[in-house]
Structure 1
Amino acid sequence: MNEHFNDIFVTTGCPSQQQLLDYVQGKLSASEQHEVEMHLADCELCSEALDGLAAIKDKEKIPGWIIEMRWNLLKKLRQRYRPKRRLQTYISLAVLIFIILMILLGIFWTYYFVARR
C-alpha cells in the first residue's frame, strides 16, 4: 500500500516533488529549469503545487514536512483499516468455534444415541 502514496506525480509526465523543490530553491540547471517551466505552462496541478511551495518561507524544511505528512497519512489509513481486520478476525474466530461445537455435538450425538443401542 505504501508505494501507492509515495508520489502523486510518478504516474504522470509531471516533474517529481524533488524537481519542483529544486526549482523553487533555484538548484536546477538552466535546461532542467526550462523543462519545468514548459511543463508548468500546461499543467495547472503543478503550477498550483509550485505556487504553494513558493509561498513557504523555510524551503529547506519542506522535505521533512513532506515525510511527516506521508507518515501521518499512512497512520490514519492504517487506523481506518485496522477495525475491519479486527472484525474479520472475530468473525473467523466465531465461525471456527461454531464448527468445533458442531463437531463435538455430532460426536456426542453419535455416542449417546447410536453407540448406546
Structure 2
Amino acid sequence: MKASFDDIFVTTTCPSQEQLLDYVQGKLSPEERHAIELHITDCEMCSEALEGLMAIQQKEKIPGWLRQMKWETLSKLRRKSRTRRPVDFKISLVVIVCAVIFLVLALFWTYYFYVRK
C-alpha cells in the first residue's frame, strides 16, 4: 500500500519530514541545523512547511497529527478512486459499442456498394 502512495519528500533533495520535525524540536546537531537553514533559504516549500511546524505550540504532538492527516488524505483518495471506476467503465463500454456499430456499418457499406455491383 505504501508503494502506491509515496511521500512528496522522497523524490526531492528536500529534508525529510523527520528531519524537519527534529529541527523544530531541536534534536539536530549544529551541522544538520545549518544544512537545513541553508536549504530553506532556497526552497519555498520547505520554508513554508517549517514555518507552519514552528507555529504549532505542542510540538511533541506533531508526528501524530501528521500521521493522522496522511491517513485521512489516503482514505479520501481511495474513496474517490472507488467512485470513479464505474464511470470509467461506462465510458469505455460506450466507446466499444460505438466502435462495433461503426465496423458493422462499414462492412455493410462495403458489401452493398462493392460486392453487389
Deviations 1:16-37 (A, max 9, x none): 0110010011000011111101
TM-score (norm 1): 0.68
Structure 1 residue 81 displacement after superposition? 1.2
Asked if the contact 1:9/1:15 (under 8 Å) is kept, the reply is yes
CA RMSD of aligned residues (A): 2.2
Asked if the contact 1:7/1:17 (under 8 Å) is kept, the reply is no
Match of 1:66 in 2: 66
- SS for the counterpart of 1:38 is helix
Match of 1:80 in 2: 80
Deviations 1:65-107 (A, max 9, x none): 1111111111111111112335549x98xxxxxxxxxxxxxxx
Match of 2:43 in 1: 43
Match of 1:8 in 2: 8
Match of 1:30 in 2: 30
Residue identity opposite 1:27 in structure 2: K
> Structure 2: where are the runs of 5+ without partners?
94-117
> Structure 1: where are the runs of 5+ without partners?
93-117
TM-score (norm 2): 0.68
